[in-house]
Amino acid sequence: MQTKKIPFDKVLALSFKDVHYQSQPETLKSFYRFSPDIKGIEEAIKERKKIQINRLLLHDVLSDNYSINASSSQKINIEFLKDSNTFTIITAHQPSLLGGPAYYFYKICSTIHLSQYLSEQYPEYKFLPVFISGSEDHDFEEVKSLHLYNRHVEWATNQSGPVGRFNISGLDEVLNIVSDILGSTENAETLTQVFKTSLANANNYNDFVFSWLNYFFKDYGLLILNMDDKRLKSCFAKIMIKEIKERRSASLVQETQEELLKHGFKPQAFARDINIFYMAEGSRERIYYEDGKFLVNHSSTTFSEGEIIHEIEKFPERFSPNVILRPIYQEYILPNIAYIGGGGEIAYWLERKKQFDYYGVFFPVLIRRNSVMLMSKSLIKTMDKLNLTLEDILLEEDKVITKYLESAANGDFHLNDEILEIQEVYNKIAAKAKLIDPTLEPFVLGEGHKTLKSSEAIEVKLKRTLKQKEETSVNQIKSLKSKLFPDGSLQERKESLLPYLVTENLSFIEKLIDELNPLKKEFLFIYL
């Protein structure tokens, strides 16, 4: 498997914020605590060692989660959590349908690679990869579908509330469709069987996700943590009570957002006065404060301050941090050193430092996950046939086509030289006309402008004609761009990884782990 690497700033599909953090993190140093490199990680380790967490609680929760189907490396890692020299490397994501877009897997592979690397570099410590599945998220639109071989597959259900608590009705139909799409090869049937076995043993959607994800990654020691746990929330209760009573997150985040605007970073997330949801059967609704009362949106439920504090203390599982408070929750519970996320995630974490300081919670190293473009043999063959390089396909589509046409016609359809000659001729004529009658100069220049416009139109026509002659190749370029950049976005943000696990088999995950080092700030092109 060959890998080629391209600097992030050469990939036009990446956002300004994403490229900026990768290429110029020092300009944003007031918004993070540790630099996103090995030096920052070393500093974070020293600081993190000073902070105590309830390691036994974390050990007990994970032990319960892995009471069955735990690999030997997972059992060892869970025991390591009791040691103060053990730290975590975290990534997190919503429980997307069968992983959703490929970057779901890339986040995890990046996290495992960094954990392995740090454990080798610093043998006196242990670094454990942790995946937090956002099972409390209630935005079903974000997780209900995936794309396979250019086909859209969707889980049809009318359920509402935290998606991890959904029952699994309708998922069998999804798996039947996925099975038909993936085909009947040995690799496809293995993959399908993993999902079907996970579904058969699941009581809810969170169980299903945990089971198949654990199958893929258990041998690498990945620990999957469901934060929708009464014991963990009971530990976090004092932070939720502080959020309820003092309501400072919104102002702290908004202040930071205003400062980030000066660097060209538009606000990433909306902070409310209270950044906690209340969960009841089939619902997850935000809490808001009005006229001395705490109200639950879309319900008749109200609390006085004393009542809601009592509710948090007695039933912490009914309360759920939103996107603003969720990072505080995970960093408060886990002995974490670094968070691995995509460009958008890093941008909203940069809005949080003042909030972390206010709550006295450790702010981890923010490391951008690896981005990957998978280059199939057919895509590579097409590129070779068209004599296109990686740098070429990163250009906008029209520029790629123009470059190809220039090569096909030896650049002969351009009229740049001829246009310059026309300009020179009319400038000379205008100069002569001015000597005879100054009022003739604008007339001559105007006629010259018309001729230049006609010449430009001729060039456009020449290009159009050449496009028609090279129609097959032009369509191949368009197809190539649409496969690598579907809907103008990155392949990893739309296409599922499952087809590649079929063609390459499950050992492909190990290859990804070997290649995806998030400390190396390069965009990866993996040739299959």
Q: What is the mean pLDDT of the chain?
A: 94
Chain centroid to Cα 236, Å, comes to 27
Structural domain includes residue 291: no
Q: Which domain holds residue 407?
A: 386-486
At CB < 8 A and 24+ separation, what contacts does 21-30 make?
21/343, 21/346, 21/347, 21/350, 21/366, 21/368, 22/368, 22/521, 23/521, 27/263, 28/263, 28/350, 30/259
Least confident of 31-35, 51-55, 312-316, 406-410: 406-410
Q: How does strand 522-527 pair with strand 2-7? A: antiparallel
Task: Report the SS3 class of residue 160.
Answer: coil
CA distance readout (Å), 231 to 42, 54, 88, 227, 237:
31, 11, 19, 9, 10
Binning pLDDT at 50, 70 and 90, where does residue 78 land? very high
Contacts of 37 (CB under 8 A, 6+ apart): 519
434 with 332, same domain: the answer is no
Q: Residue 284 in contact with residue 311, Cβ under 8 Å?
A: no
Residue 86: Cβ-neighbour burial (10 angstroms; 0-12, 13-18, 19+)? middle
Where are any strands of DSSP class E within 334-491? 336-341, 365-368, 372-375
Assess whether 365 and 469 both reside in one domain.
Answer: no
Question: pLDDT at position 460, please?
Answer: 84
Looking at residue 201, its pLDDT comes to 94
The pTM of this model reads 0.91
DSSP state of 271: P
pLDDT of residue 413: 72
pLDDT for residue 411 is more than 60? no
From 480, 396, 524, 519, select the one nearest 102 (Cα to Cα).
Answer: 524
Residues 146, 496 contacting (CB under 8 angstroms): yes
Instruction: Please check whether residues 336 and 463 belong to one and the same domain.
Output: no
Containing 523, the helix (H) or strand (E) segment is strand 522-527
Calculate the alpha carbon distances from 414 to 289, 424, 463 in Å.
66, 18, 8
- Dump pLDDT digits (tens) for 171-220: 999 999 999 999 999 999 999 999 999 999 999 999 999 999 999 999 99
The reply to whether 58 and 176 lie within a common domain is yes
If asked whether residues 163 and 97 sit together in one domain, one would say yes
Q: Are residues 217 and 189 in the same domain?
A: yes
Q: Are 60 and 164 members of one domain? A: yes
Mean pLDDT of 128-138: 95
pLDDT band at 406 (very low <50, low <70, confident <90, very high): confident
Residue 242 lies in a domain: no
Inside any domain, residue 138: yes
Phi and psi based region of residue 285 (left: phi greater than 0; alpha: psi -120 to 50; beta: remaining): beta
Check: CB of residue 386 under 8 Å from CB of residue 408: no
Find which of 321-325, 433-437, 451-455 is predicted with most confidence, using mean pLDDT: 321-325
351 plus 408 within the same structural domain: no
Could you tell me if 355 and 425 lie in one domain? no
Q: What is the tally of structural domains in the chain?
A: 2
> What is the gyration radius of the CA atoms in the chain, in angstroms?
28
CA distance to 25, 177, 233, 516, per residue, from 210 (Å):
35, 21, 20, 23
How does residue 170 score in pLDDT terms, banded at 50, 70 and 90? very high
pLDDT at 167: 97
Give tens-digit pLDDT for 444-475.
999 999 998 998 898 888 888 878 888 899 89
Between vectors from CA 146 to CA 142 and to CA 147, what angle results, nearest 5°?
135
In a domain, residue 108? The reply is yes
- E strand spans, 354-462: 365-368, 372-375
In terms of Cα–Cα distance, which of 54, 71, 131 is closest to 99? Answer: 131
Q: Is residue 23 part of a domain?
A: yes
Amino acid identity of residue 336, one-letter, is N
Tell whether 482 is covered by a domain: yes
User: Are 433 and 517 in the same domain?
Assistant: no
CA gap 268, 30 in Å, rounded: 17
Relative orientation angle of helices 186-200 and 171-182, to the nearest 10 degrees? 170
Domain-embedded: residue 244: no
The pLDDT value recorded for residue 224 is 98
HSE at residue 210, side-chain half, CA atoms within 13 A, is 24
Which percentage of the chain shows pLDDT scores above 70?
Answer: 99
> In this structure, are 192 and 93 located in the same domain?
yes
Bridge-based pairing state of the strands 336-341 and 365-368:
parallel
- Residue 295 in any domain: the answer is no
* Residues 345 and 474 both lie in one domain: no
